Amino acid sequence: MIGDEVFMENGTNDIALEYFRRLSDIATASFHEGEICSEIKNILIPFELKVSEDEWGNLYVESLVQKDNTPVVFVAHMDHPAFEVVEKVGNRLKIKVLGGHSKHVATTGLKLKVIADNLQAIPASILGVEQNKYKDTSIDNSDWLMVDYLEARLDQNTEIGNLPRPVILDLPPFEIDYGKEFIWSRSADDLAGCAAILAAITQASKRKFNRPVTALFTRAEEIGLIGARLAAQSGKLNNRSMVYSIETSSEIDGVKIGDGPVIRVGDKMTTFHNEPESLVRWYANQISKRSDSFKYQRSLMDAGTCEGSAFGSYGYNVSGIAFPLGNWHNRGKNSVEMEYISMEDYFNGVSLLYEMMTAKSPIAVTNSFPKISQNIKNRLKQSY
Ligand SMILES: [Zn+2]
């Protein structure tokens, strides 16, 4: 059994897996998050939560509680690195790169799926990079694709509907390896974060929230945290809120897949804040006291920039929880591959979110030192 005893609500782990599978089954890309958003709304129907959208299509899910405790916001993004068709001549396509990809995607013959406007997935493949795009030798040293457009072709000349249409890598959507206890998804970044928040908030709504909780599902993160920046700028969230980025983040030195979700002290761009981090650590330590299977890590996950930095730069107090991720942005050793996270890390992350939503905490957790005793002070006042 993995982390089960942590839960007051039985079956939360199964629900968390089910939500992750349901979201992973859907093709997603920056600007093309509509289907994921609809599925999240479908999942939320039976629960007593307030659901709304802002003018940019970010989705807000709020607890219906009036309490003075500091509000918390858990933010995850609905998109994943992908492409979109911007030109189609016969079966030849010009596709725009949306988000960070490995150089593997420029391999001639690499399989893609174009999502037609009737949502049918049409098989296609990469022809290559537009000519004269790799001349800069500095670019060749990078493992990442440094071009804006690729050429591709549809396997058959079919209508795909009005452009732009989303294009994703042709990878299996979701698999569980019960032997290694890994969850594989073609888009764990960040559907794992979305599903984890959803599992926690829906289960918490059946019990009792201890504070105002908002789940925020954003758009277009992979092309520059656009949805999060607009949400932060809009001031729609209470400015006292502590905002937590719930993300996957590439496994780095000092962090291990399977050693627990990571309390994230910062990202590539900024360091985060003490107050929200102290609060999440306080909760994590509470769970650790009663559950042997619960573990967590703490690190500055600086492989990428996350939505914590977006909210931090607009004055919010931010922190984060990250699931250490393998095959970040589908970058396998020799080709594109599904991403993966540890199942136990995932369940422990859901436990932590659930705990933060439902369990009481001290009003202020700051991880400050205790008072220094008069005894010690007096000793230091004496000579050496
Ligand atoms: Zn992400």
Q: How far is the CA of 82 from the centre of ligand 1 (A)?
A: 12
Q: Which long-range contacts (CB under 8 A, 24 or more apart) does 363-366 make?
A: 363/69, 364/275, 365/275, 365/278, 365/279, 365/281, 365/282, 366/274, 366/275, 366/278
Q: What angle do CA 187, 189, 192 make, to 5 degrees?
A: 90
Cβ atoms of residues 107 and 64 within 8 Å? no
Q: What's the DSSP call for residue 257?
A: T
Lookup: tokens for 144: 């990442």
Using the mean position of ligand 1's atoms as its centre, give its distance from the Cα of residue 36 in Å. Answer: 15
pTM: 0.94
| Cα–ligand 1 centroid distance for 304 (angstroms) | 8
Q: In what order do the strands lie in the sheet with 50-53?
A: 50-53, 59-62, 213-218, 72-77, 242-250, 317-325, 262-266, 297-300
Q: How many angstroms does the Cα of residue 79 sit away from the middle of ligand 1?
A: 8
DSSP letter for 106, please. G
Determine the distance separating the centroid of ligand 1 and the alpha carbon of 142, expressed in angstroms.
Answer: 20
**191 CA to centre of ligand 1 in angstroms:** 9
Alpha carbon of residue 358 to chain centroid: 22
Under 8 Å between Cβ of 54 and 236 = yes
Tell me how far apart the alpha carbons of residues 344 and 180 are, in angstroms, rounded to a whole number. 10
Q: Give residue 360 CA to ligand 1 midpoint distance, Å.
A: 30
279 contacts 263 by C-beta, under 8 angstroms: no
Q: Which domains does the chain have, with CATH numbers?
A: 4-80+173-358 (3.40.630.10), 82-169 (2.40.10)
**Ligand 1 mean position, distance from CA 77 (Å):** 7
- Relative to beta strand 92-98, strand 82-89 is antiparallel
Per-residue pLDDT 10s for the chain (384 aa) are: 343 344 456 789 999 999 999 999 999 999 999 999 999 999 999 999 999 999 999 999 999 988 888 999 999 999 999 999 999 999 999 999 999 999 999 999 999 999 999 999 999 999 998 765 555 545 556 789 999 999 999 999 999 999 999 999 999 999 999 999 999 999 999 999 999 999 999 999 999 999 999 999 999 999 999 999 999 999 999 999 999 999 999 999 999 999 999 999 999 999 999 999 999 999 999 999 999 999 999 999 999 999 999 999 999 999 999 999 999 999 999 999 999 999 999 999 999 999 999 998 877 777 778 899 999 999 999 977
